[in-house]
Structure 1
Amino acid sequence: MPENTLRRRQAAMRACDRILSGARPVTMRERLDELSAVADLDDLPDYYGDGPVTTLEQRVANLLGTEAAVWFPTGTMAQQVALRYGAQETGAVALHPLSHQLVHERDAYATLSGLRAVTPTTAYRNPVAAEIAALEERVGTVVFELPMRDAGFVLPTWDELTEACEEAVNIGARVHFDGARIWESAPYLGRSLAEIAEQADSTYVSFYKTLGGLSGAALAGTADLARYARAWRHRHGGNLFQQWPAVMSAVAGLDRELPRVPDYVRHARRVAAALAELPGARVFPEPPHTHQFRLFLPHPAGVLNAAVLTLAEQRKVWFAGGWRDTEVPGVAMAELTIAAAALEWTAADVADAGERLLELCR
């Protein structure tokens, strides 16, 4: 997105009285004010991973029911370490073509660690047990993305996930969960975070996705994995001198946002149902599996993005941005995130905003 377009979009969102998808952008000073309100800034900062970092790691391990958890500055780094840990013998990992590792990490798994990807399925979902059993070569790790973002934020059922994880163990592989959005996966799966993480040998979580942290991630699993992860975090350049602002924002997210996630997921289903009634609209998945889902409308992306900005600037209502053209001519798609700002929206509010947006597209 061009710099001037991004700044205009941010300014429009900040000025809106109501936001359906996403959160109002905040300034750096506002973020610092938030931190001072939730953290004891008179405590000493961390030094190369102690203090508040250690406290956060233990909290994550407790949440996920694992022996340990290790803080990472980025999820990409955390996942490289997780895949390397299970690939010493085979050098191969089972990855979906739409996985974060293949789509968004510039092939770091192969370039940095020399790993080879084996594809269990091309379907727009995580692999199922039969597909894992049918793999034609040995893999060290089978990766499940919960939810699979680039397939439309889709999740397996609990039985499908359990059976697939059991089959991964049967073929002698580790199970790794790309759980960047695991926080909002629990309601659909119908299990606690600890029960979900129990199915895997390692689980990565993000603190800025869903929880609203500044940045950062954690890799959770056994004590042996944690020792390995700390060594490789250092080798990857991830043992930063101080990281307390990101750590404190992660703690704030666990305190403030995590308890509200089930409300976001429930409300996303109401919002999606209202949006599906708009002329020519399609929601996927229907109903949403998490608090994020895709909306398709019968207009080009450029027209929709312009209409969203106009609606925001004229009526102080933010609908949803980031529209992209699809393979179907004249149809565009946006990813919606239903969070705190959207909880006050009724189905009638959603329908009214959608109708006004479509009028601007004519």
Structure 2
Amino acid sequence: MTHTANQGDRDGRQDGDRDSGGDGGQDSGQGREESPQQRLRARRRAALRAAGRVLSRGAALGTLAERLALLQEAAPEVHDLDEPTDLYGDGIVTALEERVAALLGTEAAAFFPTGTMAQQVALRCWAGRTGNPTVALHALAHPEVHERNALSVVSGLRTVRLTGEPRQPTADEVRSFEEPFGTLMLELPLRDAGFVLPTWEELTELVAAARERDAVVHFDGARLWESTVHLGRPLDEIAALADSVYVSFYKSLDGFGGAALAGPSGLVEEAKTWRHRYGGAVFQQFPTALSALIGLERALPRLPSYVRHARLVAAALREGLAASGVAWARVHPEVPHTHEFQVWLPYEADVAAEAAVLQAEETGVMLFTGSWQAGGPGLSFTEVTVRSDGLEWTADDVRAAVAGFVVRAEAVADRR
């Protein structure tokens, strides 16, 4: 199961919230009434904040006061706050880069304000070194779907698609691709295919196939942090397969933003030059850097427990949907590869979204916190994320919540 989302940066919205546009209020200065979609989005966010039980409550949906309070409370644990503030990437930013390089086992790392910038720079540097500006990737990879053709428009690169199937590419597809490419880019996990990962054996074969073609390998590891359970290897061993790795600080670690590019010291130094050219030499970044260090200290060690519990939740969801007599449903993957996965149901997206909000408003339990996307006539899907709040849910809790959701979804559908 998969879909093609609108282009644009959807990853700034946590917990699978792919809605685009405003914040649910009236258009500024124009006096126009809220659309039904805006009203539903505003209700969903209010319901999520008020709900007593959720599987995930992303920190990015908190208030400014809550975010600042966390920073003030946790920052002394991760860095010496008596040292001078950073200027253009020194101080605490350098400390964060060193921490990431140590975690990933690379020679160096460079902090970037966004992952989009980090990956464009990485792929541009590799194109210069290989002499080939062609990047082979999946049709559902982030640069292809969500970056407005930035690799070609901004960086002068050319992309070729190994496959569009909702799975990782195969080694045979890499070996048999009909034209040369300088870099193989692998998104681990591949979000738009359902947060799917290869097995460790498949990943090593993919990398070997690229090496046979004299191509370098870059990992889009925005969510690499939670991939260790499925791959069965530590972060440094996973990263060692690639020539360079990008990681995000906010998708799973609840940082304020930011990313890092890790790899050989020569590549990283060149990347820092391009970072400046791309406008990424930010004057001061200590709040974002502090939040990233807090995420590495607090959230990173907990991710394996989220992945393991997501498997329990996914199984209970399947059982609950079957017991509720839903005509067709799918949890994808059946056994989640990370702590995030997709749920596909035979409802229109607005029906499923309304049912999810109603359940939260009426019971204080919000099973599905993310937005719903159309997957075809009478079919929609959402993303489910399991974090610390979700660890409290038993399989019985999940099954009961599914039953309540289905009752409301059927009632909403009958009224349409």
Q: 2:110 aligns with which of 54, 70, 90?
A: 70
Q: Which amino acid counterpart does residue 78 of structure 1 have in structure 2? A: A
Residues 104-123 of structure 1 aligned to structure 2 (within 5 Å): 104-123=146-165
Give the 5 Å matches for 1:180-259: 180-259=222-301
The equivalent of 1:300 in structure 2 is 348
AA of the residue aligned to 1:226: V
The DSSP-based 3-state class of the residue aligned with 1:3 is coil
Distance between the aligned counterparts of 2:332 and 2:132, measured in 1?
Answer: 37
1:102 aligns to what SS in structure 2?
Answer: helix
In structure 1, what is the Cα distance between the partners aligned to 2:379 and 2:115? 32
Structure 1 SS opposite 2:229:
helix
Q: Name the CA distance, whole Å, in 2 between partners of 1:87 and 1:102.
A: 18
| Cα shift at 1:42 | 4.1
User: Tell me, what secondary structure is at the counterpart of 1:326?
Assistant: strand
Alignment check: 8 A CA contact 1:73 1:215 kept: yes
2:359 to 311, 330, 336: 311
- Aligned counterpart for 1:87 among listed residues 100, 124, 127: 127
Offset of 1:77 from its aligned partner? 0.2
Distance 1:22 1:274 in 2: 20
Superposed CA deviations along residues 325-344 of structure 1, whole A, max 9, x for unmatched, are 212x2221001111111000
Cα distance in 1 for partners of 2:220, 2:57 equals: 22
Deviation at 1:49, TM superposition (A): 0.2
Name the structure 1 match of 2:3: none
When structure 1 is superposed on structure 2, of 14-23 and 284-293 the one drifting more is 14-23
CA–CA distance in 1 between the matches of 2:378 and 2:316?
22
Equivalent residue, structure 2, for 1:39: 75
Distance across 1 between alignment mates of 2:66 and 2:374: 34
| Residue in structure 1 matched with residue 209 of structure 2 by the alignment | 167
Report deviation, 1:122. 2.5
Q: How does 1:91-170 map to 2 (within 5 A)?
A: 91-170=133-212
TM-score by length of 2: 0.85
Superposed displacement of residue 22, structure 1: 4.1
Answer yes or no: is 1:351 the counterpart of 2:399: yes
C-alpha displacement of 1:7 = 3.1
TM-score, normalised to structure 1's length? 0.97
Aligned-pair RMSD on alpha carbons? Answer: 1.2
Distance 2:338 2:91 in 1: 33
Query: Are 2:82 and 1:9 aligned?
Result: no
Question: Which residue identity lines up with residue 350 of structure 1 in the other structure?
Answer: V
Task: Tell me the amino acid that sits aligned with residue 108 of structure 2.
Answer: A
TM-superposed deviation, 1:318 = 1.4
Q: Does 1:337 align with 2:379?
A: no
Quick one: distance in 1 between partners of 2:203 and 2:123? Answer: 19
User: Residue 189 of structure 2 contacts residue 195 of structure 2 at CA under 8 Å; is this kept in 1?
Assistant: yes
AA in 2 matched with 1:72? F
Taking every aligned residue pair, what percent have the same amino acid on both sides?
54
> Corresponding residue for 1:54?
94
Q: Does structure 1 retain, via aligned residues, the 8 Å contact 2:48–2:57?
A: no
Q: Structure 1: how far apart are the matches of 2:66 and 2:23?
A: 22
Give the Å deviation of 1:311: 1.3
Residues 41-68 of structure 1: CA deviation (Å, up to 9, x unaligned): 4442210001110000000000000000
Q: Distance in 2 between matches of 1:72 and 1:66?
A: 17
Query: Is 1:323 aligned to 2:372, yes or no?
Result: yes
Residues 95-152 of structure 1, C-alpha deviations (whole Å, 9 max, x = no match): 2111101001111100011111122223222222211111222211000110111111
Task: Quote the Cα distance in structure 2 between the aligned partners of 1:45 and 1:308.
Answer: 44
Conservation of the 8 A alpha-carbon contact between 2:97 and 2:109: yes
- Whether the 8 Å CA contact 2:188–2:222 is kept in 1: the answer is yes
**Any conservation in 2 of the 1:22–1:336 contact (CA below 8 Å)?**
no
Is residue 300–residue 325 contact of structure 1 (8 Å, CA) maintained in 2?
yes
Q: Which runs of 5+ in 2 are unaligned?
A: 1-18, 25-38, 411-416
Query: 1:21, 1:318 within 8 Å by CA — same for their partners in 2?
Result: no
How far, CA to CA, are the matches of 1:361 and 1:267 in structure 2?
26
Q: In 2, distance between residues paired with 1:351 and 1:170?
A: 48
Cα-to-partner distance string for 1:214-245 (whole Å, 9 max, x where unaligned): 10000000001111110000000001001111
C-alpha displacement at 1:297, in angstroms?
1.7
Q: Which runs of 5+ in 1 are unaligned?
A: none
CA distances 1:56-97 after superposition (whole Å, capped 9, x unpaired) = 000000000000000000000000011111112111110211
Q: Kindly state the Cα deviation for residue 23 of structure 1 after the two structures are TM-superposed.
A: 2.9
Separation in 2, partners of 1:23, 1:66: 29
Residue 119 of structure 1 aligns with an amino acid whose one-letter code is R
> Could you tell me which amino acid in structure 2 is paired with residue 303 of structure 1?
V
